[in-house]
Amino acid sequence: MEGKYVLALDQGTTSSRAIVFDRGGNIVSTAQKEFRQIYPQPGWVEHNPQEIWSTQAGVAAEAVVRAGLNGGSIHALGITNQRETTIVWDRDTGLPVYNAIVWQDRRTADFCAELKARGLEGAVRAKTGLPIDAYFSATKIRWILDNVAGARDRAKQGKLAFGTVDSWLIWNFTRHNTHATDVTNASRTMLFNIHTLDWDDELLAELDIPRSMMPQVKPSSGLYDATKTTVFASRIPIAGVAGDQHAALFGQMCTTPGMVKNTYGTGCFLVMNTGDKPIESRNNLVTTIAWQIDGKTTYALEGSIFIGGAVVQWLRDGLGIIKQAADIEALAASVPHSDGVFLVPAFAGLGAPHWNPHARGTLFGATRGTTAAHIARAALDSIAHQSFDVLKAMEADAGQPITELRVDGGAVENNLLMQFQADLLGVDVVRPRVTETTALGAAYLAGLATGYWDGLDEVRDQWQLDRRFTPALDSEEMARHRAGWQRAVSAAMMWAAA
């Protein structure tokens, strides 16, 4: 493999990125480009699929050139992507029939309420591991078929294709030759049976979605096709595909049941490897597929927190108490604690495990002595408290305690937050040297499928520690923090119910 590299495409909600990795799992070069966010109505969020494709193809070529390489130097290509975002296109022309409806979009919330009223929640959760929600792809597909002129008739004639963003990229990179997705992205559509590992005919019929629209479902690590575009002169095998949180779990090498990672981004996404059997959550978490490699399917539990790093953005943009997001650590560290102040950042409701869409952001315990530093400290604390809530729900569902938490995402550079997270949990919080774990996971999946790496043991050995945060505060003090947080969350939900 001398002189060979793996290219990972990380197609996110606000930008397309590409990273070249070497055999040691080190970053060789990166490229990134943002694209437009389209808001046609309140609660609606769309992307232009052609812009997704053009930006992703552009940064793929740019990252390779920046590394001083060409397509012939790329051994394999891996793709990871924003999940649930829905694209429907014409098989003959290759053109989308409507904009991509983004995972954040809430236009189908009323239809989801109708499905629940018809008593379908239990069946959907049993088959897919998911609650009925506008978050997932199924009702977005239905909306396009119902609202784009002629779309339903063309779909019934087999002329339309559906895909999440990974499928759209594969379709374009292969010049319309391959219509495929992987099991992780399929498991986020609300149409895929995570037990039979196939599209569910009953759910397709219930939503009146023709099976002919659905992509072929493949393993997360395996050969899909090879690139056939002018982006690269050489044909590069597309060999690894996974949704972003699944790829991050793999990139963190959480390959043993019970291992957990938390991605601290705008929100927080906690995922636990649960092994070869899906665990049905009794604590409002999502049951999903972690990945499929060598014919073996690994399952996971996932909990989503709506407001993580976004609370820091609010302090910067909304309150103006910091100039840059990075300033929060020094400000919060200027006081020993929040002095009894608790901030519940329910700006978009509360996610897992509370799932209260009506809750709103609330600040408790403020006095005349409360300063910007105390509010900053309470804001950081809130990220750790919300993560604690989800992790305890995971422990209850899995029937086992976590032994450490692996972390990634932009906020993990904040040592104060990471230390408080360890103190709260009473277990080590572990930060890797390479924090681009989402792209790294996609690279590993592609490289393993093509023999770039010899096996899981080789890539597992590449995981390197940057810093380990060990609990330092006594349990009684942490219990007081937890009691205050729980009071604050209860009060926020009572306010919402009033």
Binding residues for glycerol: 83-84, 135, 244-245
Pair of tokens at residue 263 = 């991605």
Whose tokens are 């926020």? That residue is 492
- Asked if residues 273 and 256 have their Cβ atoms less than 8 Å apart, the reply is yes
**Residues annotated in a binding site for ATP:** 13-15, 266, 309, 313, 410
Strands 221-226 and 237-243 come out as antiparallel
Distances 66 to 19, 353, 484 between C-alpha atoms, Å: 10, 43, 51
| Distance in angstroms (rounded) separating the CA atoms of residues 238 and 74 | 11
Structural contact between residues 178 and 74, judged by C-beta atoms closer than 8 angstroms: no
Distance (Å, rounded) from C-alpha 402 to C-alpha 394?
A: 9
Residues placed in the known binding site: 13-15, 17, 83-84, 135, 244-245, 266, 309, 313, 410, 414
Annotated binding site for sn-glycerol 3-phosphate: 13, 83-84, 135, 244
